[in-house]
Structure formats: structure tokens, C-alpha cells
Amino acid sequence: MPHTSELADSHLLKKDHLKGFLRKLAKEYRLVAPVRNRHSDVLFTVIDDLDAAEIELNEPPQNSLKQFFLPQQERLYTYTTSPEGYDFQPIPTSIPPTVYFGVHPCDLSAVLYMDVVFSRRQRDPFYLRRRQGSVLIGINCNSPAPKCFCNATGSGPFIEMGSDLQLTDLGDRFLVEAGRTSGHGLIERWQGFFAAATDKDRAARYQAFLEARGRFSRQVHVEQAIRRLEADAVPDEVFAELSLRCQDCGGCAYLCPTCTCFTISDQPLDAISGQRLRSWDACTFAGFTAMAGGHNPVQAKTEAIRQRFTHKLRDDVRLTGRPSCVGCGRCVGICFGGTDIVRFVERACQGSL
């Protein structure tokens, strides 16, 4: 129920006080926030100089938080091979505790989803060591961007759970809701920045939510596509047609905040040593499932994109009760083959159930 706030504890932060609060946080944490750079691109960026950074809280950032928890490429181990043996050495790293500030509900939902991926069956040490000691400060979206459809995936434009602190823009001030013990801790620690919120402020938040909900420029029938996939009612031709148009670039998977498939490979450094790498991969790549001798259980031409959409809109719904597309719209902008998830949902719903 996204209309009533379940984040019991609410406070006010004057916009004038935001920089001061962030400055305090930056003393103890690495700070990451959406920053508009000199090319006018908005990107989640590590902020070294708070005064020089233009933090952008309205326009959704082009990248998501995925790269901070699952880097595009990371070294897992170095290895050496010699007559004495073949040995792997862990790579010493220390990941600074980090505050992720200004995270939109879609991207917050995506982090919560990644938490499931990387701890459900096995606890993934490389993901979790980045995730542990991270603080998420979210911002609800008063004005969804034209590409956004989180209302159809149940992951925005306002969110109730998942962040440590959740901000709503009320004009000259933010309503700040503390979702977790760690969030309460932050407010207690720096209580000088905060004032008590009144019922009027909470009513203003609700009003903002209602208005935001009415501002989506597209209707994407995700629920219907989910039903049709579950009923096996999406014709093979839909998958074939979109697969044929997919140009195998992987852009959708790289940009997507919930695409977490990876590959592991060795990179020799010299004859007797090398490093083992983990890198982003994409289920749409023709070689993703290829086995020795060229044998492939997935028909690359006509089935390449089936896994992408059935995983997000059917398998993950079975697993977690909700799709793992969070409606951020990033893949829609990047796909030049016209095989993005919105196109799929439209095609899947034709001849509806």
C-alpha cells in the first residue's frame, strides 16, 4: 500500500540544512549521489568535494547503483602456477562504508532485489562485502520522467521500505522517514539538523504521492504480461520476432539495475601467473549458454531474448512475488533494435488474456 507511510518515525530537514547534513555524513562515510557533470549527464558519482558537486535529485541518474555492488569487472583472485603448486590468492581490499544518497525508488528496489540474488542460495562474498556497511538514503519521485513506469512494476514512485532514510521533497524542506535502526541512528546522531514532522507534513507527503502517481506519461501493462507469461500464452513468434531484432549488444543488461548475470574468466599476466575476473554478462548474448563443441541449448536467433523477459516477469515473480523489472526505463532508451521490455510487454499483451 504505497499511499500510507509505514516508516513510522518522520522528521523534517530544511533544504538549507541538506549540505550541512551531507558534510557531516561525508566525514564518516564515502558519499555517492547523483551528480550532474559538466556534460550535463546525471550519474551516481563518488563525491570528493561536496561544494563542487551539483547533486541532482529530480532527474533520474543514467547509471544505477549496480556498479557499486557488482562492478562491471572485478578481480576475484590472483593465481600463480609453479612446480610447487597452483595457488589462488585473495585480493586484499577494504571497501569504505558508503552512504548512497538520493536513490530513487526504482534503484532502491533493485538493490533489495540484488540482495536476494546474492544471498538466497549462497552468500556471495564479493557482493556482500560491498553491501554490508552501506547506507541507503532514498528520495521519492514527485515528477516521474517520461521513460519511467515503476508504477506498473510496484517499485515507485514512492517507496515505504528498504532504505535507511527516505526523503520526500516538500518544497522548502524534506520529510525524512527513518526506516531502519540505522536510519534512526543517523537522525539521533545529527538531531540538530532535524525538526519534528507534523501531521500537516505527512499530509503534504501523501498529496505529493497522489500527484506523482498521476504524472506518468506511459501506461505499461506489466501485470497483464506477467499473467500471460505465467499462462504460457505469449506466442513463440513474439519471442522470435524480438530475438531476431536484438543486435546482441548487451546494452540493456549492462544498464539494467537488476541484470546481475556474470561470467568468470582468467586473464594471464605471464606464463606462471594471472588473475581471475568476474565481469557483467548478458543472457541475450549468443554465447551465454554455448557449450563445448558449439552445442547450444538456446536457439540464439529465435530465443535470445526469451530468458531476459521470462526471468524478470515470470520466474522472479514466482520467487519473490514481484517482477525484477523495476520500471526505470533505462533499457528503453538504449535499445536500438526495438526489443526493450516495454516493447515486449506491448507485444505480449496483444490478443489479451
Partner 1 sequence: MPQPITDIYLPRQAKVEQIIVENSQISTFVLAFSDHTYNNAFRHQPGQFMMVSMPHCGEAPISISSTPTRPGAIHLSVRRAGKLTAAMHGLRTGDTIGLRGPYGRPFPMEQLQKKDLLFVAGGIGLAPLRGVINGCLDQRDQFGTLTVLYGSRTPSDIAFQSDLGLWKKQGVDCRLTVDAAEPGWDGAVGLVTSLLDDLKPNVNQSTTLVCGPPLMFRAVLGRLASMGFSDHQVLTTMERHMKCGVGICRHCHMDGKMACADGPVFSLAELRQLKIMELDG
Ligand X SMILES: Cc1cc2nc3c(=O)[nH]c(=O)nc-3n(C[C@H](O)[C@H](O)[C@H](O)COP(=O)(O)OP(=O)(O)OC[C@H]3O[C@@H](n4cnc5c(N)ncnc54)[C@H](O)[C@@H]3O)c2cc1C
Enumerate binding residues for ligand X (CB under 6 A).
Answer: 291-292
Angle at 29 between CA 131 and CA 132, to 5 degrees: 15
Do 9 and 178 contact (CB within 8 A), yes or no? yes
Cell 536500438 belongs to 336
Q: Could you say which residues in the range 255-274 bind ligand SF4, by CB under 6 A? A: 255-258
Given candidates 47, 53, 150, 349, which one binds ligand SF4 under the rule CB under 6 A?
A: 150
Strand order across the 273-280 sheet: 85-90, 73-82, 273-280, 262-270
Residues that bind partner 1 (CB under 8 A): 76-77, 79, 81, 85-88, 90, 117-118, 120-126, 128-129, 132-133, 260-266, 268, 272, 274, 276, 281, 283, 288-293, 297-299, 307, 310-311, 314-315, 318
Query: Least CB distance from residue 107 to ligand SF4, whole Å?
Result: 7
Choose one: 81-89, 168-176, 285-293, 322-330; the region binding ligand SF4 (CB under 6 A). 322-330
Which three three-digit cell numbers place residue 39?
556534460
DSSP 162: S
In 3-state terms, what secondary structure has residue 75?
strand
Query: Least CB distance from residue 62 to partner 1, whole Å?
Result: 25
Q: Does the footprint of ligand SF4 cover residue 57 (CB under 6 A)?
A: no
What number of H helices and E strands is found in the chain? 15, 12
Q: Please, where are the H alpha helices in 231-274?
A: 236-245, 251-255
Among partner 1, ligand SF4, ligand X, none, residue 145 binds (CB under 5-8 Å by kind): ligand SF4
Q: Does the footprint of ligand SF4 cover residue 251 (CB under 6 A)?
A: no
CB neighbours of 94 closer than 8 A, spacing ≥ 6?
none
Among partner 1, ligand X, ligand SF4, none, residue 301 binds (CB under 5-8 Å by kind): none
Task: List interacting residues with ligand SF4 (CB under 6 A).
Answer: 60, 104-106, 141, 144-145, 148, 150, 156-157, 255-258, 312, 325-331, 341
